[in-house]
Amino acid sequence: MQSKKTIFKTIRLSKFLFAGTFLLSLCFKANAQTNDLGLKVHHITLSVKNIDTMVYWYTHVLDLKLIRKSDESARIELDGFFIDMLQVKGSSRQPSQDLSTDDHMQAQGWRHLVFNTADFYKTYLLLKAKGVVFPQVIDEKNKTKIQGIFFKDPEGNVLEIRHIQQ
């Protein structure tokens, strides 16, 4: 029998996955159509401690495309969505970056970036082979409609891969 702690973690993770799915659907709609104001998602900006480490990780581990890079900034791209990185002198690490992937939603603000994948287990195994650490255990027998797992980049920013089965 599962412990209460395990059950609560499962419930909490389910809530996060539901919220992530909702946000992901909003992103897909934002890219597919405009709202009354004509808004579309273009990019997100990430303040980083080490531009070289982060660009390398996002381009070699996640296979995102490097568009441009200087000593203090970079732009990477995935299917028309851009991630700008800025190395700003005097910037500091946020306490939320030290939260576990289970607890990261306890901090306010943008919490994680979600990548959808057509083959969840293949992507998961490829990322593991590249050294990505996943704190959760994957149940390969799980046949739920939504599959997702959190992980962190080298500076503690939470990311997620997920697959929504049709």
pLDDT for 136: 83
pTM: 0.72
Q: Are residues 49 and 64 in the same domain?
A: yes
pLDDT for 23: 44
Q: Are residues 121 and 87 in the same domain?
A: no
Q: Could you give the maximum distance between any two Cα atoms of the chain, in Å? A: 54
Residues of the chain falling short of pLDDT 70: 1-34, 107-109, 140, 142-144, 166
Q: Are residues 84 and 161 in the same domain?
A: no
pLDDT for 109: 66
Domain count for the chain, please give it. 2
Q: Which domain holds residue 62?
A: 42-92
